[in-house]
């Protein structure tokens, strides 16, 4: 099983509800996990789909 170099979201504060992101060594896959998930589920997607998600979130953000 590959080891991921997880990076924590800059919006994460103290606690267990943080988003962690890792990019595969070939940069073909983006992995997402939530630190409070006891099963350590990992969602994998393409960089293009992850970029589209981030753009949509930023566009619809009220911050």
DSSP result, 13-50: -SSS--EEEEE-TTSS-EEEEETT-TT---EEE-HHHH
**Residue 36 counted as domain residue:** yes
pLDDT digit string (tens) for 4-39? 888 887 777 766 678 888 998 888 999 998 877 756
**Residue 1 counted as domain residue:** no
If you average pLDDT over residues 31-54, what whole number do you get? 86
**Residue 63 counted as domain residue:** no
Domain count, the chain: 1
Residue ranges making up the domain that contains 50: 7-58
**Residue 28 counted as domain residue:** yes
- Give the list of residues 6+ apart from residue 29 with CB closer than 8 angstroms, or none: 23, 44, 45, 46, 47
**Residue 24 counted as domain residue:** yes
User: Using an 8 Å Cβ cutoff, are 10 and 20 in contact?
Assistant: no
**Residue 18 counted as domain residue:** yes
Q: What integer pLDDT is reported at residue 12 of this predicted model?
A: 76
pTM score: 0.73
Q: What integer pLDDT is reported at residue 52 of this predicted model?
A: 95
């Amino acid at each position: 099983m590959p080891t991921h170099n997880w990076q924590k979201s800059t919006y994460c504060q103290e606690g267990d509800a943080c988003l962690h992101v890792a990019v595969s060594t070939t940069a073909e896959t983006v992995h997402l996990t939530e630190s409070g998930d006891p099963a350590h589920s990992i969602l994998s997607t393409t960089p293009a789909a992850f970029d589209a998600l981030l753009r949509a979130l930023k566009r619809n953000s009220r911050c």
